[in-house]
Amino acid sequence: MSAVPQFVKPKELAQWLKAKEQVAIIDVRDDDYAGGAIKGHTHVPSAKFPDTVASVISDNQNKDKIIFHCSLSQQRGPKGRPSQMNGMQAHPPAARMYQEAQNLTGQYGKGPQIYILEGGFVQWQREFGKDAEVTAQYDEAYWQEDHF
């Protein structure tokens, strides 16, 4: 299992979703969980993630891919240990998610590929916010304001 996060671009994730691939989307936004969401996602606030990571991985062993994201996928979405992030910005509480998910998939045998959504939901909504096939509850007015 790689300690260096694998990223997926929004366009590729949208293609996977539209092709009905077996993908789990884990949205780890906290107070910034607003303005819409990727269809079919599971919301697991980053503050609760350490207590729920094992069940998230276990519940999604039937999936081919698990994609984590937060608003920007720079801190909460990428979860590798700071020393293993190859220069990527990471903070200790956020740095566990990716690594723990990677470690747990190994415990279950051949498990899903783990990815981080490049650019997070901010980039996703720029590209696919208005696409109701892959985005739920999109609030265009919310994104007109300067949140990030």
Q: Residue 31: which domain range? A: 7-134
> Tokens 């980053």, residue?
46
Domain presence at residue 70: yes
pLDDT tens-digit map of 24-72: 999 988 888 889 999 999 999 988 887 888 888 889 989 999 998 888 8
pLDDT, residue 133, reads 97
- Yes or no: say if 46 and 40 are a contact pair by the CB < 8 Å rule: no
Tell me how many domains the chain contains: 1
pLDDT, residue 78, reads 47
- Mean pLDDT computed over every residue of the chain: 78
**What's 65's domain CATH number?**
3.40.250.10
Report the alpha-carbon distance of residue 38 to residue 52 in Å, rounded: 20
pLDDT tens-digit map of 89-118: 443 333 456 666 766 666 655 678 888 899
pLDDT, residue 81, reads 30
Domain presence at residue 60: yes
> Tokens 């039937």, residue?
62
